A and B are shown apart, each in its own frame.
Chain A
Amino acid sequence: MQDEDSDLRAGVRAALPLLFPTLAVGISFGVLAEPVMGSVAPIVMSVIVFAGSAQFAALSVLAAGGGAPAAITAGLLMNTRFLPMGFAVAPALRGGPLKRAAQGQAVIDTSLALASRGERGFDRGLLVGATIPQAACWISGTAIGALGGSVLSEPERFGIDAIFPAFFLALLVKEARRGLALGVALAGGLVTLALLPFLPPGLAVIAAFLTALVGLRRP
């Protein structure tokens, strides 16, 4: 079955447009985290937690003096969305339990989206290949920000934060060509928008996943 998967290099290529934005956001995480955590902890966090939105969520709680339990809760709630994503990608993974769990760590929003092959499930090579360079940029960006800061300490000034939704929108246009997929996309977007004011973002995104269950109705 392995030969069905794309080469890791195809995943790396697919992730290229994301590398500069990921580096820039990594720098801003490092810069924002340094006064709260010191210069080493943010880098360690980017290596072993490796989940940008959860790291920002936990950081914002710590910076506000919220304490570890509240920071952990904020970060984990953000990452709950990886639970359904892990189940979705699981059939595409290969090897024993440890190897499969290790491959599962490559699941991040961008890579999962890039690895989708529609009716044929997910492509393991694209998934892992797309995550590796993004991890390198996220970690090195954090290090640059935490150790020295830089002109990119405020990536918002350059509109870097708008690159991610634009990238996701471009992928969505490709994915949602078919009628049912388009319907699910519209429903998922509306569900997220409706729930975002009331739920932690991770849970609002999970609720959007439920719209994909409409696929069960198909013969």
Chain B
Amino acid sequence: MSEVWITIGVLCVGTVAIKSAGPLMVGGRVPSDRTLAVLSLVAPALLAALVVYETVGGRAGGVEIDERLAGVGAAAACLAAKLPLGVVVIAAAAVTALARALTG
């Protein structure tokens, strides 16, 4: 088996195991109030982390500041102006593409 297929196979098994751990270890019980309080904060924490990673994260790790920052800034301005989601994402892509065209 080649390196590629070993990588794919182990990644598949590992990812399924990682994703199964929580659902298997936590039964279908009704969560406590404290658990729900933590769960309600999972999405804000995750989303903030993803905004940062997807904006300045390098593909091979580390921090890489590039034109995405301008696009996300445009998205933030659209959100502040209460524009709809479609406009927000199109503005982000358009401003990023424009900045790349100008700097590239």
B30 CB within 8 Å of chain A: yes
Q: Are A82 and B15 in contact (CB under 8 A)?
A: yes
Q: Are B46 and A113 in contact (CB under 8 A)?
A: yes
In the complex, what residues of A have CB within 8 A of residue B51's CB? 165, 168-169, 172, 189
Q: Do A60 and B95 contact each other (CB < 8 Å), given the known contacts A72-B14, A93-B28, A212-B41?
A: no
In the complex, what residues of B have CB within 8 A of residue A44's CB? 8
In the complex, what residues of A have CB within 8 A of residue B75's CB? 162, 165-166, 169-170
Q: Give chain B interface residues in 13-54, CB to chain A under 8 Å.
A: 14-16, 18-26, 28-31, 33-54
Q: Which size class do A's interface residues fall under? A: 35 or more
Main secondary structure of the interface of B (DSSP, over half): helix
Q: Are A71 and B5 in contact (CB under 8 A)?
A: no
Q: Are A62 and B7 in contact (CB under 8 A)?
A: yes
In the complex, what residues of A have CB within 8 A of residue B4's CB? 36-38, 41, 62, 68
In the complex, what residues of B have CB within 8 A of residue A85's CB? 22, 42, 46
Identify which of B14, B16, B50 contacts A168 (C-beta below 8 A).
B50
Q: Are B28 and A87 in contact (CB under 8 A)?
A: no
Q: Do A121 and B31 contact each other (CB < 8 Å), given the known contacts A165-B68, A184-B45, A191-B49?
A: yes
Q: Are A49 and B43 in contact (CB under 8 A)?
A: no
Interface string of A182-209 (1 = CB under 8 A from B): 1011111101110011001100110011
Please give me the residue from chain B that is nearest to A80 by CB atom.
B18
In the complex, what residues of A have CB within 8 A of residue B15's CB? 49-51, 54, 75-76, 79, 82
Q: Are A165 and B46 in contact (CB under 8 A)?
A: no
Identify which of B12, B39, B48 contacts A188 (C-beta below 8 A).
B48
Q: How many B residues have CB within 8 A of the partner chain?
A: 75
In the complex, what residues of A have CB within 8 A of residue B42's CB? 84-85, 88, 112, 116, 209, 212
Q: Are A97 and B61 in contact (CB under 8 A)?
A: no
Interface string of A100-123 (1 = CB under 8 A from B): 110111010100110010111110
Complex CA–CA separation, A201 to B7 (angstroms): 19
In the complex, what residues of A have CB within 8 A of residue B14's CB? 72, 75-76, 79
Q: Do A104 and B23 contact each other (CB < 8 Å), given the known contacts A49-B8, A62-B7, A197-B63?
A: yes
Identify which of B16, B47, B62 contacts A175 (C-beta below 8 A).
B47
Complex CA–CA separation, A185 to B46 (angstroms): 8
Q: Are A208 and B48 in contact (CB under 8 A)?
A: yes
Q: Do A204 and B88 contact each other (CB < 8 Å), given the known contacts A54-B11, A89-B22?
A: no
Cβ contacts A to B, 9 pairs, < 8 Å: A17-B89, A97-B24, A104-B20, A107-B19, A160-B93, A168-B50, A181-B44, A211-B41, A212-B42
The 9 closest A-B pairs by CB, nearest first: A86-B22, A159-B96, A162-B71, A166-B92, A208-B49, A166-B75, A116-B43, A90-B26, A215-B37
